[in-house]
């Protein structure tokens, strides 16, 4: 592998860590410098999936404002919204829904995930975007 390839892989790893850790300001700077908001890792997890799954509201918002796809599937067919439902994170769920996340996208879908875990309150609140 060339030195340039090593640098790209190192940079990508750093950006994924920023999403996972919720460093919204630094993540925004990288996105503004040209890192794609839809970047995925070797499992197909996008930056938005990592930020949302780990409960980082500000990082999730930064990614959505910079073009991340609220319905981007990972290699397992999961969406960021289904991950947020699994975690029970209402704030992240609301951000994703308001950004156009589809309750029925993915396998299992967010709706199916809520039903699987008996989260009827979450399930009922999902389809009601903020006023």
What count of Cα atoms within 13 Å lies in the side-chain half-sphere of residue 106? Answer: 25
Q: Mean pLDDT in the chain?
A: 91
Please tell me whether the overall predicted TM-score, pTM, comes out greater than 0.85 for this model: yes
Q: Classify the C-alpha dihedral 87-14-58-101 as positive or negative.
A: negative
How far apart CA 11 and CA 79 sit, in angstroms, is: 24
Inter-residue contact 46 to 30 (CB < 8 Å): no
Q: Residue 131: its pLDDT value, please?
A: 42
Token pair in block for residue 30: 């990288």
Q: Is the pLDDT of residue 45 over 50?
A: yes
Q: Is the pLDDT of residue 130 over 60?
A: no
Domains and CATH numbers, the chain: 3-126 (1.25.40.20)
CA 32 to chain centre: 18
At 75-85, the pLDDT tens digits run 999 999 999 99
Q: Can you tell me the mean pLDDT for 108-121?
A: 85
Q: Residue 97: its pLDDT value, please?
A: 92
């Amino acid at each position: 592998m060339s030195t340039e390839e090593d640098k790209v892989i190192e940079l990508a790893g750093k950006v994924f860590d920023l999403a996972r850790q919720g460093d919204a300001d630094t993540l925004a700077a990288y996105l503004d410098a040209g890192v794609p908001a839809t970047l995925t890792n070797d499992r197909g997890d996008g930056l938005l999936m990592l930020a949302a799954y780990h409960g980082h509201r500000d990082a999730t918002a930064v990614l959505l404002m910079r073009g991340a796809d609220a319905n981007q599937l990972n290699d397992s067919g999961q969406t960021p919204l289904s991950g947020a439902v699994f975690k029970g994170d209402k704030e992240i769920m609301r951000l994703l829904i308001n950004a156009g996340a589809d309750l029925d996208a993915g396998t299992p879908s967010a709706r199916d995930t809520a039903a699987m875990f008996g989260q009827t309150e979450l399930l009922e609140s999902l389809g009601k975007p903020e006023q």
